Structure 1
């Protein structure tokens, strides 16, 4: 599993984020060491205890993501969380485990309190990134999973990976986030100057502008703003060295206005029609995904209710083994009561593991079913990305053609202005001197 962690505060914000309804399934799997039985209350407890110290980042949040094509049981997640806890020195600390499922993938978030309540100090976590990377490799090898290139060698990490903000931005623009990054990175690698880079981006419907923070950004015809350093995957200093000072560039708002003016009504209509068409294409599959999620939730609730009923019946049977009265006193004296209690504990533990395995098997079978649907959704997305890319290139060509006359006129205006400012040209030739 890929394990990534960070120290942080913001207890309420983190709890709200982990319970977001944008996931198809959200399960609070474990709350250990807290009085509260809900996530907000548990994290609020950690915050209250942290106020007795000077620690601001009193939580350690870790995500566990198995390969999307592999089956990872609930027990596998628990073992990985326990191993990370031991490796980081967080044994026995209050923790929460939350599972998320979306688009046929399941991952977990584990959050620990860093505050040692007995000594009222924050537990130091030196080199936690390196430790989690090494542990991730061990978990991959333990399950005989194919080790990702980026985990084997950090220099081989996929440059097209994206974060949550980039994903949301791509959705707003109606594009695939990987496709956007690929456009930027190919334009960067194939260009050696600001002019070449700008032309390569414009071919795909992006125009370079001056960002609000004095950096370089690119804007598409929908008005979305993209930080060039982020999407090319290079440092801001390298961007500035190649593209120069952004001060002469147009501002974001001016560039948006210019883009709207360049787009013909026909092109705007084509863009709107494509968005509407693709939304209609997505609707049946989105409805199917929602219905499938509801069905899966009902199946899990039914299994859980059955398990709870069986647990009560089995607990009653185990309790009935403990005799009362004179017979119970005799069992206590002879040690039979202790043997019965130990037997009950073993059977209760076995019943608990049985129920967990049943639920895990159900979840894994549902994930497999959801992946079949996701394969169809992914195929549709690929087709829509191709259609969108074709339109982007058409719009890029139009923008490029419209910018050429504007640039020519701008150059002429500068030349005229330069001539008008030349004192020799203003004074004219000295004819007396010629005579």
Structure 2
């Protein structure tokens, strides 16, 4: 049993489009639980609305499960997996929606859950990958697979199974040798897979280009020049230097170079070695521009500017003026973008926020409150806004200019 998951905000239609993508031979919408909308898009928006009271900015949990070919009862295995999964994470009563995909003689299932409980608490997803792997091993054993799917968490899963009284599954895993085997490494994480689908840039090609640039350079400036010769660029991200492809999407440099070396040579280039080589560089912050590129860039001053396909300077991943990283619902995004430095960093954003009209600030605050009371609060506050207040010297006001409670303002 293979499973994957992503957690996100659920905004926009990206997730709905992904679930209904026409490249599958067949897409079947499964009956939703606790939702009233007739289509996937509406159901996902319902899940997001139901989650507004939770203390999380990523309330949507998207999963898929794909039974192995060795399991003959595909539907039965999926049903058992979801039952065990919901019991493991306490999601048995939570609303969800989903689809079944049939492609190339294989059928797998996607579900989208809300992680916010009715009392506002958020479901604990600690170690969710290993816990889902444990569920998969149980289903594989119960549905007659000759050996478990290899997992880098095999030893931890065996320990957890014994603690939960499933010695039969634990013994089956140990007898198969999976606890002693070399840990498998996936080519892509679920997030990387979605980023690759969105941008159309093969991550393996990007890794190879970054590693080639690394090997033909001896210091930071030479590495930067080698990247730019390949149509890439190097910026400063939230977690360190990032390699920016032709779509404006950022990839952590230490991870990109290290993963490429591990796949080609079997030995990873340590992150410390990458950071040491790049330590002397002064890089502009990634994500300062609205499209993921540096705001106000001068192509004559910045030779790393990406060119459209078919024009000079196009390199790995060059795809014209495609937008930068998306940040939607567990949707793909550049995990190391976002400008925190430079002329359009956090300080500039705060200045723009402070300059917004007072009515816009009021409505922004309302979005943080319960949706059921938004309309009444908006009407009440609009009424307050329509009144003219005469400021009294020395009177304290809040950030919207209204007198703080306890003062005695004069109405005009």
TM-score by length of 1: 0.45
TM-score by length of 2: 0.47
Higher Cα radius of gyration = 1
